[in-house]
Amino acid sequence: MTTESPRWFKSSYSSNGGDCVEVAASLSATGVVPVRDSKRPNGPVLVLSGDAFAGLVTLARSTDM
């Protein structure tokens, strides 16, 4: 387990008033990608594997919203 603190960021495409997710890609070298709701920074964190996160990104890019 790493002791490194996550460095959270939002996509540059997130200009919709703050309704988005934040990702701590700084921890991807550990094999996990934490994801959280940007409106609830102290709320729960979903921890995905690198493959699962890549699948989530692929799905999000293919969805016409």
Give residue limits of the domains in the chain.
1-65
Q: Could you give the 3-state DSSP secondary structure of residue 62?
A: helix
- pLDDT score, position 1: 47
pLDDT tens digits, residue range 30-56?
888 999 988 888 999 999 998 999 998
Q: Say if CB 36 and CB 21 are below 8 A apart.
A: yes
Name which of 2-16, 17-31, 32-46 the model is least confident about.
Answer: 2-16
For residue 5, name the pLDDT band (cuts at 50, 70, 90): confident
